[in-house]
Amino acid sequence: MAQSHLLANRSTCTRLSVGATIVRDRRIIAGGYNGSTSGGVHCIDEGCYMIEGHCARTIHAEMNALLQCAKFGVPTQGAEIYVTHFPCLPCTKALIQAGIKKIYYANDYHNHPYALELLEDAEVETVHVPYEPVMDAAFSEKQLAFIAELLKTLETQGTDRETMKKYYEEAQKLFANGV
């Protein structure tokens, strides 16, 4: 899911940043984000081209990921997709037709009742996975360095041994998963 959120940062549509990652056999086979056609005008440059409440300029992230597979001859039958937002109805239909068997999504987004019905009929499993971003590694290293410096300063200023032990243990717990 983190990969899909990274891809969403590349989105060129100003209405919603969406990212999608297709995985087969636990390997990433394609990724996409919502944006314009290759070489076309982007929403971030000239605004969205709205027709009936939708940006006509944008190709959705799921579709871009599927098209990447088609372009390079990568089969999608039995694959899974990780998407930052629940797929719209047209993307849902495309995912079903492409043989996607499981959809992981981080955010609900206009979950269309017919899309839900189609997914159920096609036996495509949907899994809501709220995304909790992991700490940026560089940021974690800066935090760890700061805490280490702070602990050394406390130690050199004569903080008692038992208190220092408690601080070191707490710092170790805080950063055990982040670095």
pLDDT tens-place string over residues 26-39? 999 999 999 999 99
At residue 85, what are phi and psi to the nearest 5 degrees? -135, 150
Catalytic residue among 52, 62, 123, 169: 62
Describe the chain by its helix, strand, coil percentages, rounded to 5: 40, 20, 40
Query: Could you confirm whether 170 is annotated as catalytic?
Result: no
pTM: 0.74
Q: Residue 19: which H helix or E strand, with range?
A: strand 19-24
Could you tell me the pLDDT band of residue 178, with boundaries at 50, 70 and 90?
very low
Torsion of CA 79, 120, 61, 67, to 10 degrees: 50
pLDDT tier at 179 (50, 70, 90 boundaries)?
Answer: very low
